[in-house]
Amino acid sequence: MTQTASAPTTDDAARRDDSWIYFDGEYRRYRDARIGLLTQGLNYGTGVFEGIRAYWSEERGQLYGLWFPEHYRRFHQNARVLQMRVPHSVEELCAITHELLRRNGSRETTYIRPLIFKSAETIGFRLHDMPDSFAIATAPMGDYVPTGGMRCMVSSWRRIDESMAPPRTKCTGIYINSALAKSEALQAGFDEAIMLTGAGHVCEGSGENIFLIRGGVISTPAPADNILEGITRQGLIHLFREEMGLDVVERSIGRSELYIADEVFMCGTGAQVAPVVEIDRRTVGDGEPGPLTLRVQGLFHDIVTGANPKYAEWLRPIW
């Protein structure tokens, strides 16, 4: 089934506007945060963001923040690439996020959006000698893509190359590349796009890393193929190796390998672990989520909801 975003309701908008955010050193309501129409980050895409999840466990009555330090370390690194300086340390960012979730009374799975952007209200653009603004907002979030089996297409839009802009960063301007691919896929009746590099190698989805399994061998595109170095991706590689005793090969992957794979899945903060059951109207495997995909999906779910104490260090309890 094609993914469609539901329109926000009046209640959703009111709840969002009344929520607490952190903006330029202050906790304030979402409705009180404003930027000007000439803000450089809005006009030219000169910003960096992160995507983080906190998972609610009804059984435990607890909200678990997942990989807070890992995300904020990447946020610091990415900001440096765009000559920005995050005004807080990693641990300070974790503490601010913890406080936001508590202020908002978050008792549901929640998405966390840190953002730093060039805030000068001027015509013209550059990265150096320009002021930055920094914010964190949160919002409820369920499944970003179908997690029971996605239908994908290989996009006609190629993934941006390292020689053009830094694809390993979550730079706001770069995401026009992803938006073009995503709309192409949705409007063609699919759930998600798969993007290739300029050389024709499999890269990633519009906002997810990708894995394929063939003959028991697990493969995923290497960082040199212009992928975002995903934190969920790295966590799953660890689980495959340490919990399941399986190796993961990071290598260049040809498009036709997608068609003959036994299993394919995507992953990311938004996507979580999302099996792919069809690519370009070709069935993946038997057309159902594969056994290794389901196994790692279940393991991941148990970890993020606090049911697997072995990985408690990946989590930050909020309540």
Domain ranges across the chain: 10-140, 150-304
| pLDDT value of residue 15 | 86
Q: pTM here?
A: 0.93
| pLDDT value of residue 7 | 59
Q: What is the rounded end-to-end Cα distance, in angstroms, of the chain?
A: 36
Q: Which of 207, 286, 214 has its CA nearest to residue 253?
A: 214
Catalytic residue numbers? 170
Rounded CA-CA distance 1/190 in Å is 8
**Residue 128 burial (CB < 10 Å; 0-12/13-18/19+)?**
exposed
Q: Which residues of the chain have pLDDT under 70?
A: 1-8
Phi-psi region of 28 (alpha: psi -120 to 50; beta: other; left: phi over 0): beta
The per-residue DSSP string of 109-149 comes to -EEEEEEEEE--B-SS--STT--EEEEEEEEE---SS-SS-
| pLDDT value of residue 24 | 95
Q: What is the CATH number of domain 150-304?
A: 3.20.10.10
| pLDDT value of residue 9 | 76
Cα dihedral 310/311/312/314 (nearest 10): 170
| pLDDT value of residue 6 | 55
Q: Which of 66, 58, 96 has its CA nearest to residue 312?
A: 66
Rounded CA-CA distance 58/36 in Å is 41
| pLDDT value of residue 143 | 84
> In the numeric block, which tokens belong to residue 204?
């990633």
Domain 10-140, CATH class in plain words: alpha beta
User: What confidence tens digit (pLDDT) does each residue in 7-49 have?
Assistant: 567 788 888 899 999 999 999 999 999 999 999 999 999 999 9
Q: Which residues, other chains included, contact 92 with Cβ-Cβ below 8 Å and sequence gap of 6+?
A: none
| pLDDT value of residue 2 | 41
